[in-house]
Amino acid sequence: MAVNGTRNSPIVTVKAPRSREDEIDNRPMVLVVDDEPAIADTVVKILNLSGYAAVAAYDADEAIETALIAPPSLLITDVVMPGKNGIELAITIKRIYPECKTLLFSGQASTADLMASANRAGYRFNLLNKPVPPQKLLEMVEENLGNSAVLSEAN
The span from the CA of 118 to the CA of 113, in Å, is 9
Give the closest residue to 135 by CA, choosing from 50, 51, 41, 30. Answer: 50
Give the closest residue to 78 by CA, choosing from 138, 32, 136. Answer: 32
Q: Is residue 88 part of a domain?
A: yes
**Average pLDDT over every residue of 34-59:** 96
The span from the CA of 34 to the CA of 61, in Å, is 12
| Contact criterion met (CB below 8 Å) for 71 and 45 | no
pLDDT attached to residue 58: 97
Q: Is residue 7 part of a domain?
A: no
Q: Is residue 52 part of a domain?
A: yes
pLDDT digits (tens, 9 = 90+) for 4-32: 444 444 444 344 444 444 444 678 999 99
What CATH number did the domain enclosing 117 receive?
Answer: 3.40.50.2300
List 53's β-bridge partners, or say none. 29
Range of the domain at 27: 23-143
Residue 155 DSSP one-character state? -
Q: Is residue 12 part of a domain?
A: no
Q: Is residue 6 part of a domain?
A: no
| Number of structural domains in the chain | 1
**Average pLDDT over every residue of 45-66:** 96
pLDDT attached to residue 26: 78
